[in-house]
Amino acid sequence: MRYAVFLAAGVLLGAIIHIAVILALPALAAHTVWLRIAAIAPENKVVVLPTPAPGVANPLQLDPDLEYAVCRVNLAAGPGVISGTLPDAYWSLAIFDPSGTVIYSTTNRDGIGQNLSLGIFNPDQTHLLAEQRLDIADGLLIVESKDDDVFVVVRLAPAHEAVRARSEQALAKIACGNIKS
């Protein structure tokens, strides 16, 4: 009977350990997507990721059918802006915070077409924008981020293998940086 009480206490303690592990893992993980992107993408520079080759580890789990461009922005230096013209093919965009959470995503099927023009503002900058104390380009899609550190991922699906190189060039031409006030 006493032994069963110890086992039951062990199960209860195990449940507590389980909850602690689940809650602590995001803070303790050593190979987060933020660290992986920070290692390959300097701030304010668009980096086109290489297509994952067969047999080579693919920690970011990239889809070899797609082309990827990433850009890291620090909003402490001013609102972020990412702009460019992309080929007439399916593309999508996602903004990540340092925890790897997608704070915003969209696709060109949402009426954006081929033109990418996105502004990322922290709450203070959104406030300034509301007071019309920041000048921004017309048609800029505005997204608010609670964190100053963000990175943007543009995924492009080339219509054919033959246009893959052209798709890579289009992604490399995307402009990314801060709006100077």
Partner 1 sequence: MRFLIQLLSMVAVALVVGFGLSYYALTDGRLLGALKVGPWAAWPAVGSASPDPYTRAYLARTGALQLGQGEGLAFTAADDSDGHPLDRSCRYRIEGTTPVATFWTLQAVAADGSNIARPDGQLELRSSDIARANDGSLVLTVSKTLAPANWLEITGTGSFRLLLTFYDPSNLSGSGVAVQSLPAIHREACGA
- Chain residues that interact with partner 1, rule: CB under 8 A: 2-3, 6-7, 9-18, 20-23, 25-26, 28-29, 31-33, 35-37, 52-65, 68, 90, 92, 94, 99-107, 109-110, 153, 155, 157
In 29-166, the DSSP E strands lie at 47-49, 67-74, 80-85, 90-96, 102-107, 115-121, 141-144, 149-157
User: CB atoms < 10 A from the CB of 11, how many?
Assistant: 8
- Which residues, in sequence order, are CB contacts of 153 under 8 Å at separation 6+? 68, 69, 70, 93, 94, 95, 96
CB of 129 to partner 1, least distance (A): 20
**Nearest partner of 87 among 2, 180, 170, 12, judged by Cα:** 170
Is the CB of 78 or the CB of 98 nearer to partner 1? 98
Closest CB to partner 1 among residues 2, 180:
2
> Smallest distance from the beta carbon of 126 to partner 1, in angstroms?
16
- Least Cβ distance, residue 107 to partner 1 (angstroms): 5
Q: How far is the CB of 132 from partner 1 (least distance, A)?
A: 27
Closest among 178, 176, 179 to 82, alpha carbons compared: 176
Q: Which is nearer to partner 1, 20 or 172 (CB)?
A: 20
**By C-alpha distance, which of 153, 120, 166, 178 is closest to 47?**
153
Which residue number, 15 or 133, has a Cβ lying nearer to partner 1? 15
Least distance from partner 1 to the Cβ atom of residue 152, Å: 11
Taking the least distance from each CB to partner 1, the nearer of 104 and 128 is 104
The Cα–Cα gap between 99 and 117 comes to 24
User: How far apart, in whole angstroms, are the C-alpha atoms of residue 82 and residue 153?
Assistant: 10
